[in-house]
């Protein structure tokens, strides 16, 4: 005897045994739940994007003479934006106050990101984003200028997309 398949392209054959109606209903609920979860997972993964952007890097006052490598990556998950930023300052020039980088998307609210300088000082860096801003401002942990000639700044974290 053939019964209704639980999955596409599947045939279920029984050998004279008849499952109880209760068992059939339980199995159908489980299969329905699994199909709903597949739909939920597909919807979530459709909302995930990965990308890179080319940020404009400046200082709060003065100017950075020469930048080296700049790598900027992001991932969006729904309304959240996760970023990873790597900036090499080859020649600092008169750059002072803070290091600024444009963001891939404007921020809906305030956010604080974390990072470090990798070569000269190893100091912790904080990145601050204001509500409605498309800019992250980087300072050392004690609000000093994080840059200098030959410095490598790394910053990562997340913020809510406007």
Do 86 and 24 lie in a common domain? no
CATH, residue 59:
2.60.40.1830
Model pTM score: 0.72
| CA-based nearest residue to 66, from 123, 155, 137, 151 | 151
From 10, 31, 46, the end of a domain falls on: 46
- Per DSSP (E only), the strands in 24-149 are 48-52, 57-61, 66-77, 80-91, 96-102, 111-117, 124-129, 135-140
Same domain, residue pair 31 and 59: no
The domain of 37 spans 2-46
Residue 10 has a pLDDT of: 59
According to the model, what pLDDT value does residue 31 have?
A: 73
pLDDT (tens digit, 9 = 90+) per residue, 18-51? 667 777 777 777 777 766 666 666 656 667 899 9
**Which of residues 46, 62, 81 is at a domain's end?**
46
pLDDT value of position 7: 59
Q: Which residues of the chain have pLDDT under 70?
A: 1-19, 34-46
What pLDDT shows up at residue 59? 98
pLDDT, position 42: 61
């Amino acid at each position: 005897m053939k019964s209704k398949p639980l999955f596409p392209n599947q045939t279920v054959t029984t050998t004279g045994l008849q499952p109880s109606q209760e068992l059939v209903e339980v199995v159908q609920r489980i299969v329905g739940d699994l199909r709903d979860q597949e739909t939920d997972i597909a919807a979530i993964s459709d909302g995930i994007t990965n990308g890179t952007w080319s940020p404009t890097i400046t200082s709060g006052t003065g100017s950075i003479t020469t930048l080296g490598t700049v790598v900027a990556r992001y991932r969006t998950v729904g309304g959240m934006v996760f970023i990873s930023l790597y900036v090499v300052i080859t020649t600092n020039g008169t750059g002072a106050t803070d290091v600024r980088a444009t963001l891939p998307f404007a921020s809906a609210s305030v956010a604080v990101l974390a990072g470090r300088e990798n070569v000269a000082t190893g100091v912790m860096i904080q990145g601050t984003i204001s509500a409605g801003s498309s800019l992250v401002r980087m300072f050392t942990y004690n609000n000093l200028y994080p840059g200098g000639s030959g410095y490598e700044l790394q910053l990562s974290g997340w913020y809510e997309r406007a």
